[in-house]
Amino acid sequence: MAESQAFDRVCIMLEHLTELNRLEARGTVRIALKQAGLKSDSVRADEMVVAISAILIGELEARGIAEAADLCGKITDSLSRIDEAARDDAPEDIFARLGR
């Protein structure tokens, strides 16, 4: 299953900025998304920002991550640089551009 750019970005940052391994980071973010009613394969950056502030901070604190709010602030800032326009293209549009 292909994950969204926002999901991947958050997970990678958690791996690099905490002691969570890949599985722990991805699982923690999936739990937060599930609680928010979102899916990892379709979550947009703006939706992820809401899930981070409403849920992920608490999930990280529950896992003993120090300064979870500051960490989530860094992650949220990073999400603003994701270009999701390409992700919303229909397959026909992508192939049409490739054929030019």
d(CA 9, CA 48): 10
Indicate the SS3 state at residue 54: helix
Name which residue leads in pLDDT, 49 or 90. 49
pLDDT tens-digit series, residues 1-42: 689 999 999 999 999 999 999 999 999 999 999 999 999 999
Residue 56 DSSP class: I
Category of 92 on φ-ψ map: left (φ > 0), alpha (ψ -120 to 50) or beta: alpha
The tally of domains found in the chain comes to 1
**Which residue range(s) make up the domain with 90?**
5-98
Which pLDDT score, from 0 to 100, does residue 80 have?
A: 86
For the stretch 66-86, pLDDT in tens is 999 999 999 999 998 886 655
